[in-house]
Amino acid sequence: MTAQKSLSGRSWVELTLLSLIWGASFLAIRVALDEVGFVTVVAHRVFWAACVLWLVVWLLGMSVPRNPRIWAAFLIMGLLNNVIPFSLMTWGQLYIETGLTSILNGATAVFGVIVAAAIFGDERLTLRRIAGVLLGFFGITVAIGFDNLRNFDLHSLAQLAVLGGTLSYALASSWARVTLSGLAPQVAAAGMLTASSLIMLPAAWLIDGRPSLRLSPDTIAGIAYFSLAGTALAYLLYYRVLAMAGSGNLMLCTLLIPPIAIVLGALVLGETLLPQAFAGFALLAIGLIILDGRIFRRMRAGQQVAK
């Protein structure tokens, strides 16, 4: 959250592309869920993405870590960044709209601020960040709906599952900073996806049964998209944007993804969201803008120039 750089034209293009890829992933996952169990969906996602990333590591001539401690870190990272959030969010998409899932996914940035502040001394909660966090959580509450919070049902549980996934993402970010900061990002991503595959492949067999190869073209296309593009390619692009634009600018993805997912869900699946979802997203977006802080820095810079 502390890294902040100016966005070049190339950075904007790649940031937008990354948002498009991730936004469309929600649709691809929902399409696959019509025919494949949610655990198997996650297994497909991590296994095929791991295969692609190890191919990239090999082509780039990078070395494979041999230290058991690093592989133990990969295991924890895989649990926090893949197994838990992918499983919770994929299950949640069985019962809530893809657009709403993408809106709730924005809580990752809000939880990230809280987790980082609790762990790292250089990520303290300033008044601005506290205001952004509170407004973000209020937006999430509005998006879920106060009635859903009072009348707890499967729909409400699905929304809470998605939020649980975002908390896991936030924990993963801090874990990576502590344990994996010295590794090449391609190797770190391949390692955690491999560890995730070792968990999800047997889990899918036990929970969903033996995977079937007789899948519809739409399902195969969905699996190919969310595993190869939405995971493997997205990770590679994510690290490129991170290097060019900094972690602060990556928060913009959180604002760009929901409109993409909402439009695709409406066009392809005929989904409609309640007005409260849009109102909640608007409040969450304002909270994220406050957390980002660039608008306040520009206002202060303008005032100094005026003086």
- Kindly report, residue by residue over 106-163, the tens digit of the pLDDT: 898 889 888 888 888 777 888 888 998 899 889 999 988 877 667 778 888 999 999 9
Using CA atoms, how far residue 287 sits from 131, 139, 259, 280, 281, in Å, is 7, 8, 17, 11, 10
- Tokens standing for residue 63: 């070395």
**Percent of all residues in the chain with a pLDDT value above 70, rounded to a whole number:** 90
Residue 2 has pLDDT above 50, yes or no: no
Asked whether residue 229 is domain-assigned, the answer is no
Asked whether residue 250 is domain-assigned, the answer is no
Question: For residue range 174-188, what is the model confidence (pLDDT) as tens digits?
Answer: 898 888 888 899 999
What is the phi-psi region of residue 149: left when phi exceeds 0, alpha when psi lies from -120 to 50, beta otherwise?
alpha
Q: Specify which of 193-202, 230-239, 254-263, 276-285 reaches the highest per-range mean pLDDT.
A: 193-202
State the Rg of the chain over Cα: 19
Encoded amino acid at 92, one letter: G
Residues 6+ apart with CB under 8 A from 16: 256
Asked whether residue 260 is domain-assigned, the answer is yes
How many domains in the chain?
1
Asked whether residue 161 is domain-assigned, the answer is yes
User: In this predicted structure, what is the pLDDT of residue 129?
Assistant: 86
Domain of residue 283 covers 50-213+255-306
The average pLDDT across 292-296 equals 68
User: In this predicted structure, what is the pLDDT of residue 245?
Assistant: 66
Asked whether residue 42 is domain-assigned, the answer is no
Asked whether residue 107 is domain-assigned, the answer is yes
Residue 289 has pLDDT above 90, yes or no: no
Q: Look up tokens 């690290």; give the residue.
A: 239
Q: Work out the mean pLDDT of the chain and round it to a whole number.
A: 88
Give the whole-angstrom CA distance, residue 209 versus residue 186: 32
Query: Pick from 245, 226, 228, 224: which is nearest to 236 by CA?
Result: 228
Asked whether residue 5 is domain-assigned, the answer is no
Asked whether residue 40 is domain-assigned, the answer is no
The average pLDDT across 61-68 equals 93
User: In this predicted structure, what is the pLDDT of residue 91?
Assistant: 97
> Got the DSSP string for 42-80?
HHHHHHHHHHHHHHHHHHTTPPPP--HHHHHHHHHHHII
